[in-house]
Chain A
Amino acid sequence: EDQVTQSPEALRLQEGESSSLNCSYTVSGLRGLFWYRQDPGKGPEFLFTLYSAGEEKEKERLKATLTKKESFLHITAPKPEDSATYLCAGTQGGSEKLVFGKGTKLTVNP
């Protein structure tokens, strides 16, 4: 069964304290690995898509990386406005269906 597992479930950081979120996957024939940000009561906001091991993408304080078994979302010098739930999802080749992890709830304290 295809699975996406995120860790930790929750993470509290002080403003400026860099850290990483983990997403491990067992999606056979992974086509794409997606990162989204979700604020309470809102739909997920697209951040990145990664396709192959070794690929990296950056956006402001966020950088996503991908290996053959997992992906990391690195947050550099986070600010309180980065507080949200970060969701990881994968798709199989030939399918557009996203398999989501349970998310990591990030809280950044000022």
Chain B
Amino acid sequence: GAVVSQHPSRVICKSGTSVKIECRSLDFQATTMFWYRQFPKQSLMLMATSNEGSKATYEQGVEKDKFLINHASLTLSTLTVTSAHPEDSSFYICSAAGTSGRQETQYFGPGTRLLVL
């Protein structure tokens, strides 16, 4: 299947700092990428849909100014958590829409564990 990478895999930061997470589709072009967050023992919650060359679409309740998304190319989307606070600590996962054989799906990255102290 297709490969999606995320960097960093784990980050620890102080409260008030900003953190950037990169999501790359390594072997296919992704016009659409998605950002999710996942709390312990819970399922994935969609935060926003990122479209190449246009503004991201945020889900209800997700602060646009806090979670900045940039999709500058067909293989790269970034999520910046601005002025991070302890409640932003979570597992952030990106995905890219692609096709495996004739199956449409989303391919997920390995996730980024964010801990805000």
A binds B: yes
User: In this assembly, does A41 line the interface, its C-beta being within 8 Å of a C-beta of chain B?
Assistant: yes
* Interface 1/0 per residue, B35-51 and A, CB below 8 Å: 00000001110100100
User: In this assembly, does B113 line the interface, its C-beta being within 8 Å of a C-beta of chain A?
Assistant: yes
User: In this assembly, does B67 line the interface, its C-beta being within 8 Å of a C-beta of chain A?
Assistant: no
Pairwise interchain contact B46-A97, C-beta atoms closer than 8 A: yes
Pairwise interchain contact A44-B105, C-beta atoms closer than 8 A: no
Pairwise interchain contact B104-A32, C-beta atoms closer than 8 A: yes
* Interface 1/0 per residue, A36-78 and B, CB below 8 Å: 1000011111101100000000000000000000000000000
Pairwise interchain contact B43-A46, C-beta atoms closer than 8 A: no
- B32 CB to closest chain A CB (Å) equals 6
Enumerate A82-106 residues with CB–CB distance to B below 8 Å. Answer: 87, 96-98, 100-103
- B107 CB to closest chain A CB (Å) equals 6
Q: Give the most central of A32, A42, A101, A102: most B CB within 10 Å.
A: A42
User: Of the candidates A43, A49, A98, A100, which one forms a contact with B111 in the assembled complex, judged by CB atoms under 8 Å apart?
Assistant: A43
Pairwise interchain contact A97-B49, C-beta atoms closer than 8 A: yes
- Neighbouring B residues of A43 by C-beta, 8 Å: 4, 6, 93, 95, 108-111
User: In this assembly, does B116 line the interface, its C-beta being within 8 Å of a C-beta of chain A?
Assistant: no
Enumerate B65-117 residues with CB–CB distance to A below 8 Å. Answer: 91, 93, 95, 97, 100, 103-111, 113
Can you report 29 A-B residue pairs in the complex whose CB atoms are below 8 A from each other? A34-B105, A34-B106, A36-B108, A41-B91, A41-B111, A41-B113, A42-B110, A43-B4, A43-B95, A43-B108, A43-B109, A43-B110, A44-B108, A46-B1, A46-B100, A46-B105, A49-B103, A49-B104, A49-B105, A87-B43, A96-B32, A96-B34, A97-B34, A98-B34, A98-B44, A98-B106, A100-B44, A101-B43, A103-B43
Chain A residues with a Cβ under 8 A of chain B = 32, 34, 36, 41-46, 48-49, 87, 96-98, 100-103
Chain B residues with a Cβ under 8 A of chain A = 1, 4, 6, 32, 34, 42-44, 46, 49, 91, 93, 95, 97, 100, 103-111, 113
